[in-house]
Chain A
Amino acid sequence: MGSFVPALNIFATFLSDASYAFLVGTCLARYWLRAEAVPASLLRGLGAVLLGVLIVCHLVRPWFIASSMSGSTRFRETLALVPAVLSTRQGGLWYTNSIALAILLGIHFIGGSRAVWAGAVALCALAVTKAASSHASEQGDFSTPEVAQFLHLAATSVWAGAVVVSGFWVVPRFAVNRTLSALWRYARHLSQTVTWALIILLLSGVYVAWVDMHGTLHPLWSSFWGKLLLTKAALASLAIVLGGWNRFRVLGGPEDTPRAATMAKLLRSEAFVMIGILSLSSMLGNTNPFP
């Protein structure tokens, strides 16, 4: 089992990050569609599946932390260390995540008028604990790198989640059942939100990158980490081009069926690219820039 554990850890990180981002995207899509009289079932089922995946990833995380901290890959030996892990700083963050996930689960089944805000707070709490469990927390809680990391994670989740959920789930179904004007309204919400997310991503990312690379660009060219990052940069550039094309060439034009089909195709392509970006992120988070 030993040699598979690092790969399993990367896969679990990817599942966790992706399901979190897609859950954010699902919530945003539900919010944008609130005035469109779309059946709640359109996104409710997807939200339940994503929340389920997120909870499973959360439940197995202490085992992966124990493996990482102890250097052991033996299942039982590592399982015995889980109580010790739960008494560390990472354990405290895990308990906080448990509360946030319980709130999201409660909202899913109970709902209510305050569900939107409670859900937003719970989703933010998950991003805060993720930032607090990362390298960025080394300078202390609520330090500038940690806050920047939180903004970066939140903006990445908004960008990736909104594009993937819209590209694979909402727009293909939406285009069949709704009017073109409703599709254009949805796409404008998506485009505006993603633009703001990209601005936050840029500002926070430049700062986080500078801190992580210790003020030098050398790891970009000299390490496996750097090559992964440059590949991810190429994919991100492609996603930005696809998104920009949709925003300025398709969304800016008249509302007609050929343009709607082009919009759906571009968005689906961008969604595939975003999944590639999320996969590379999971590998990058477990790779050392300074081997």
Chain B
Amino acid sequence: MNFPMTSTLLVAAMLVPAAFAHTAPVTMTPPADSTVSSPPNVTINFSGPLEPKFSSITVTNAAGHVVNKEPSAVGADTKVMTVPLPPLPPGVYTVHWVGVSTDTHRSQGDYKFTVK
């Protein structure tokens, strides 16, 4: 790497601000696109700590109705969020998650799993 390139990188590095953080799911239980027996809950492990009051998981059935009776909760490990589920009949379910990182930034997404 030549001198101008090295200098640019060094100056770029020294001026980098606190980056915008999007916390995102690292592991999901049940996993995305999996086929499982009725799971007792949905648990998502995120890449960073979550702000509990603004983060959530909802699970809907194929008709779009919310099937979780209780709200989701962030655990003692603030990277983990869980929602308990009642016994689910066979079908395709959609998990909608909202993850708000402690630096206020919000991300969201969906994935599906099938109950056999």
Contact = CB atoms under 8 A, between A and B. Distances in A.
Interface stretch (A39-47, A178-186, A212-220): A212-220
Given A89-B51, A138-B49, A285-B20, A206 B14 contact: yes
Contact of A90 (B13, B16, B18, B104): B104
B39 to A, nearest CB: 27
Contacts of A205: 13-16
B12 interface: yes
13 contacts: A68-B105, A69-B104, A70-B106, A134-B103, A135-B19, A201-B15, A206-B10, A209-B16, A220-B9, A230-B8, A285-B18, A285-B19, A289-B20
A237 B103 contact: no
A162 interface: no
Interface residues of A, number: 48
Given A88-B51, A217-B9, A237-B8, A135 B18 contact: yes
Nearest to A235: B15
Interface of A: 65, 68-71, 84, 87-90, 131, 133-138, 149, 156, 201-202, 205-206, 208-210, 212-213, 217, 220, 225, 229-230, 232-234, 236-237, 240, 277, 281, 284-290
B11 to A, nearest CB: 4
Interface residues of B, number: 30
B26 to A, nearest CB: 13
B21 A210 contact: no
A135 B101 contact: yes
Interface in B41-95: 48-49, 51, 53-54
B22 interface: yes
B16 A135 contact: no
A284 B17 contact: yes
Contacts of B48: 138
A6 to B, nearest CB: 11
B102 interface: yes
Given A138-B102, A285-B18, A84 B11 contact: no
Nearest to B106: A71
A136 B103 CA distance: 9
Given A69-B54, A206-B10, 13 more contacts: A69-B51, A84-B53, A87-B53, A133-B103, A135-B20, A138-B101, A206-B14, A208-B18, A210-B13, A232-B15, A236-B15, A281-B17, A287-B20
Contact of B103 (A70, A135, A217): A135
A113 to B, nearest CB: 36
A281 B17 CA distance: 6
B24 to A, nearest CB: 9
B19 A212 contact: yes
A271 B10 CA distance: 22
B103 A208 contact: no
A149 B18 contact: yes
A233 B101 CA distance: 28
A249 B7 CA distance: 22
